[in-house]
């Protein structure tokens, strides 16, 4: 696992985008600026959990190492040591890839 110096808080999850291979459509290479933001990501770190109104912490439904689908425009991008990460709320995770 990656040794990242960011510890999410609350129901936030730190993910690293899984870049698709070079996109080629009809023999034309799509430049980086025209590529869609990848939605597939790997869970790197979990926060402390979401607290309910009763004060109890709800456990995460994902775990470190899971491959997940995240909403296209959700989260906050963070760059650390030349790698791009995104901090998303657990609600922004659409599903786990089996």
DSSP string, 25-82: ETTEEPPGGGSPPP-EEEEEEE-S-EE-TTSPEEPPSS-TT-EEEE-TT-SEEEEETT
- Looking at residues 60-83, what average pLDDT do you find? 90
More confident call, 25 vs 69: 69
pLDDT tens digits, one per residue of 27-68: 666 665 555 566 899 999 999 998 888 989 988 999 999 999
67: closest CA among 93, 28, 37, 34? 93
* Per-residue pLDDT, 46: 95
Torsion of CA 47, 39, 17, 44, to 10 degrees: 20
Spell 42-76 as b/e; 16+ CB within 10 A means b.
bbbbbbebbeeeeeeeeebebeeebebebeeeebe
* Per-residue pLDDT, 76: 92
Tell me the pTM.
0.77
């Amino acid at each position: 696992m990656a040794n990242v110096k960011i510890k999410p808080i609350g129901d936030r999850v730190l993910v690293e985008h899984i870049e698709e291979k070079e996109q080629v459509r009809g023999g034309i290479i799509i430049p980086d600026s025209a590529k869609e933001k990848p939605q597939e990501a790997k869970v790197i770190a979990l926060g402390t959990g979401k607290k309910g109104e009763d004060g109890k912490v709800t456990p995460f439904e994902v775990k470190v190492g899971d491959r997940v689908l995240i909403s296209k425009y959700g989260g906050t991008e963070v760059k650390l040591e030349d790698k791009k990460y995104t901090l998303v709320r657990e609600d922004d995770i659409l599903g786990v890839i089996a």
